[in-house]
Structure 1
Amino acid sequence: MIKSTEYTQQIKTEATRLGFSFCGIAKAEYLEEESPRLEKWLSQNMHGKMQYMENYFEKRLDPTKLVEGSKSVVTLMYNYFPEKEQRDDSFNISKYAYGQDYHAIIKKKLKEFVSFIHEEVGEVNAQIYVDSAPVLERAWAKKSGLGWIGKNAMLIHPKNGSFFFLAEVILDLELEYDNPIKDYCGTCTACIDACPTEAILPGKVVDGSKCISYFTIELKDEIIPNEVKGKFNDWMFGCDICQDVCPWNRFSKPHNEKLFNPHPKLLEYSKNEWMDLTEEIYQEIFKKSAVKRTKFKGIKRNIDFLNKN
């Protein structure tokens, strides 16, 4: 028990040193509460054409099927809220994609984090996850006491809002576990009321197939469906509407990660300049960016769709 307490304190101290804003720990066990919710969400086709969401159902719910003998799930939060945002007369990009791709940046930190654990504890089986494996990261963050799940299905921290990346380390080391905190959304419906495509449903459910982020990032079709024409509010990659209107995000503070700072043109470009975007300029602005997921062809499709509204 003394060792568990000591290891827990060391792990949380190291997380802070590496730049993570918060660190919570939960017991690695089956997510019973999430099982029927995920099954219903999939059965109602709320994942749209994101077929990968149907894979590894049991692994999404049970960390011991991902890491054999796992005992703890460490969840870490990394701030990405920017100091400056795009100009008002622009086509918008989700704040998480302003700078370099978070996957590589956070993965590098997690590798250092695990190396530290090996040095302090000895040989443990530990796997790292950054939004790239069947891990229900928000459920683990909630279970670890890092916040509550808002009506927009985002994790909300009571002191810093929701503009965070989540990452996990699943390991076969017993640690001290944190407790979930109270839900403070109350009767507020700001996110539900603000969503232009009515993707946010009662019960903290988001119909992914109606989300602007789905249409602008995940949907690979050459044509965006006509029924959502005029409903994108100038978003060309992702969408932050439900976070921007959330009262808890008045507590968001700018990040300190230089690699998340955007190319100057991203902040300066007007709609007209985005409409004239060439592949050369695209490669310059979005070098190492998560926006590369859509490729130049995808961004042009999104801009053309917005331009026709």
Structure 2
Amino acid sequence: MSYPFDLQQIAHQIKQWGRELGFQQVGICDTDLSAEEPKLQDWLEKQYHGEMDWMARHGMMRARPNELLPGTLRVISVRMNYLPAKAAFASTLKNPQLGYVSRYALGRDYHKVLRNRLKKLGELIQAHCGELNFRPFVDSAPILERPIAAKAGLGWTGKHSLILNREAGSWFFLGELLIDLPLPVDQPQEEQCGRCVACITICPTSAIVEPYVVDARRCISYLTIELEGAIPEEFRPLIGNRIYGCDDCQLICPWNRYGQLTDEDDFSPRAVLHAPPLVDLFKWDEAKFLRVTEGSAIRRIGHLRWLRNIAVALGNAPWAEENLAALQMRSGENAMLDEHIDWAIAQQLQRRAAQSVDVQPAKKQRLVRAVEKGLARDA
């Protein structure tokens, strides 16, 4: 089929429009993801998707973009940086009395931001070409966004399964625009992780079961965001103070030394979510939770799971009377929440008991001296 315009020139123009709309990179690929289907099938058969039934519900459609929009010939893949200037990673993670929220969720819900920009990009292409069928996606349909991004040249798949870019690390969102124009495609980047396994080693719950494969059932992001019921007790101590998501595999990645800061005001951290005291968060009623998280990705987990996550974090915090009081205050509100509160109270009481021994230095010194004199039986 012939077109009254130069497809190469249109592809170049699309990338220019994308940058003007705030995307840091735009790539183009075809719709052939057949190489991903065996990997997806194996991942699903091993139940690595956990309770995310929607991952399995659409079968191999995730690897077939033209089934989402019949007639699709190309996928435009985009990335947008989200790392804020004052991310405060270490200061929050190292203070167990504070709640750590994955950095992508500190600002406005990225789904809305990216989808609106992608829709504008589609409209620009449509206006220029006369006729165009397009459909934007941002985690809003069964589509393999990371393999698409890799195929479109935005980066390579790291061993943590995220897309890595040598100029930007991995601190960016992805989005897709399906179109029915046979644009020239971009070339994939060569993988550059080498022998590094830092992300596998650092994962608190050993969720990266092998390079490029994540068992979601073990992943803290899944446990604090996707899982609707009780968090398995074996993982609770490992969650630490992470109350929404986890960034550890990105924080350790050497390529994130080159991570680029966002210039999007929408992704600026909301002060109330940036290194907040756990006790304060646990006091929020549902009305305040909904008010504070309006327009935020956090709202999707709801108030109950929010409290569940904070209860676990309080259980992992050092002994403090205010932690125990906060937990006891909410006891009896919900059976699932009570399971986590009871566990957290038990953890706090154990620490108090241990601390009560440590705060008696005089008695401890008497015991030491008695042992030294061989008189331990009289201590």
TM interval, short-chain normalised:
over 0.9
Give the corresponding residue for 1:183.
191
**Which deviations, in whole Å up to 9, do the C-alpha atoms of 1:237-295 show, x marking residues without a partner?**
01111011111111112101111112212225223323333434423432210000111
The answer to which of 32-41 and 271-280 deviates more is 271-280
The answer to which of 56-65 and 156-165 deviates more is 56-65
Give the corresponding residue for 2:164.
156
- Tell me the distance in 2 between the aligned counterparts of 1:300 and 1:37: 36
Normalising by structure 1, we get a TM-score of 0.96
Which amino acid in 1 is paired with 2:313?
L
Which amino acid in 1 is paired with 2:311?
D
- Tell me the distance in 2 between the aligned counterparts of 1:269 and 1:201: 32
Alpha carbons of structure 1 residues 108 and 41: separation in structure 2 relative to 1, 3 Å: same
Provide runs of 4+ in structure 1 moved above 4 Å.
Answer: none
Q: Is 1:36 aligned to 2:44, yes or no?
A: no
Aligned length: 307
Structure richer in helix, relative to its length: 2
- Tell me the distance in 2 between the aligned counterparts of 1:253 and 1:203: 25
Give the corresponding residue for 1:247.
254
Q: Does structure 1 retain, via aligned residues, the 8 Å contact 2:160–2:211?
A: no
Q: Is 1:51 aligned to 2:53, yes or no?
A: yes
**Which deviations, in whole Å up to 9, do the C-alpha atoms of 1:113-170 show, x marking residues without a partner?**
1110011111111111111101100000000111100000000011001111100011
Which amino acid in 1 is paired with 2:49?
H
Q: Please show how residues 41-190 of structure 1 align to structure 2 within 5 Å.
A: 41-86=43-88, 87-88=91-92, 89=95, 90-190=98-198
- Tell me the distance in 1 between the aligned counterparts of 2:43 and 2:175: 23
List runs of 5+ in structure 1 lacking aligned partners. Answer: none
Secondary structure at 1:33 match in 2: helix
Structure 1 position 103, deviation (Å): 0.9
Which amino acid in 1 is paired with 2:192?
Y
Secondary structure at 1:179 match in 2: coil
Give the corresponding residue for 2:349.
none
Instruction: Decide which of 8, 11, 15 is 1:5's aligned counterpart.
Output: 8
Structure 1 position 65, deviation (Å): 1.2
Q: Does structure 1 retain, via aligned residues, the 8 Å contact 2:200–2:211?
A: no
Give the corresponding residue for 2:20.
17
- Tell me the distance in 1 between the aligned counterparts of 2:266 and 2:207: 31
Alpha-carbon RMSD across the aligned residues, in angstroms, is 1.4
Q: Does structure 1 retain, via aligned residues, the 8 Å contact 2:155–2:165?
A: yes
- Tell me the distance in 2 between the aligned counterparts of 1:191 and 1:127: 34
Q: Is 1:273 aligned to 2:280, yes or no?
A: yes
- Tell me the distance in 1 between the aligned counterparts of 2:67 and 2:273: 42
Which amino acid in 2 is paired with 1:157?
N
List runs of 5+ in structure 2 lacking aligned partners. Answer: 317-379
Percent identical pairs in the alignment equals 37
Which amino acid in 2 is paired with 1:51?
D
Q: Which has the higher contact order (CA 8 A, sep 6+)?
A: 1
Q: Is 1:227 aligned to 2:230, yes or no?
A: no
Q: Does structure 2 retain, via aligned residues, the 8 Å contact 1:196–1:233?
A: no
Give the corresponding residue for 2:377.
none
Which amino acid in 1 is paired with 2:103?
K
- Tell me the distance in 2 between the aligned counterparts of 1:145 and 1:263: 33
